[in-house]
């Protein structure tokens, strides 16, 4: 059994982590969303957000959704498609939904889109339920 204790230091959502992103997620009963405006310290190349930051946001949204739905889980497989560069200062909305729920595994899908609904990246994940 996996112990998924939270001490507030999660890099993405932890309010206690001074180096973290401190994202706030909203759960509507089915999907979870968060807005993110990248800063210069999130860039890879000049004015382009590092793909690892975008990947981290998508992964976190899917895991946070599982937790919000009462099914704590850890990512076992993550597939990401970066579709276009994200610029520093360009706001995105990250959204996740569960697409399949079995006894031990959840499958999820997440997107990152700009204000004008341009798809920046999307991802699928297989997550192992913490109790399973």
Question: With 60 as the cut, is the pLDDT of residue 46 above it?
Answer: yes
Structural domain span for residue 79: 26-129
Is 5 inside a domain boundary? no
Torsional sign, CA 21, 27, 31, 37: negative
Is 56 inside a domain boundary? yes
Token readout for 67 is 């937790």
DSSP H stretches of helix in the chain: 51-68
| Predicted local distance difference test score (pLDDT) of residue 1 | 57
Give how many domains the chain has, as a whole number: 1
Tens of pLDDT, residue by residue over 50-71, are 999 999 999 999 999 999 999 9
Is 79 inside a domain boundary? yes
Token readout for 86 is 């994200």
Is 32 inside a domain boundary? yes
Where is pLDDT greater, at 23 or 2? 23
Where is pLDDT greater, at 5 or 24? 24
Is 83 inside a domain boundary? yes
Is 14 inside a domain boundary? no
Is 78 inside a domain boundary? yes
Question: With 60 as the cut, is the pLDDT of residue 132 above it?
Answer: no
Is 36 inside a domain boundary? yes
Tens of pLDDT, residue by residue over 1-12, are 567 888 999 999
Task: Starting at the earlier edge strand, list the strands of the sheet with 105-114.
Answer: 26-27, 31-36, 92-101, 105-114, 119-129, 73-82
CATH code of residue 79: 3.10.129.10
- The average pLDDT across 19-45 equals 96
């Amino acid at each position: 059994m996996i112990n998924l204790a939270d001490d507030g230091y999660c890099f993405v959502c932890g309010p206690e982590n001074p180096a973290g992103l401190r994202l706030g997620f909203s759960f509507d009963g089915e999907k979870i969303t968060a807005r993110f405006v990248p800063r210069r310290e999130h860039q890879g190349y000049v004015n382009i957000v590092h793909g690892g930051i975008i990947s981290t946001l998508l992964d976190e949204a899917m895991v946070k959704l599982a937790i919000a739905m009462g099914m704590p889980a850890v990512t076992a497989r993550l597939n990401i498609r970066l579709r276009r560069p994200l610029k520093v200062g360009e706001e995105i909305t990250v959204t996740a939904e569960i697409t399949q729920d079995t006894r031990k595994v959840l499958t999820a899908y997440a997107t990152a889109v700009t204000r004008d609904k341009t798809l920046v990246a999307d991802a699928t994940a297989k997550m192992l339920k913490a109790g399973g």
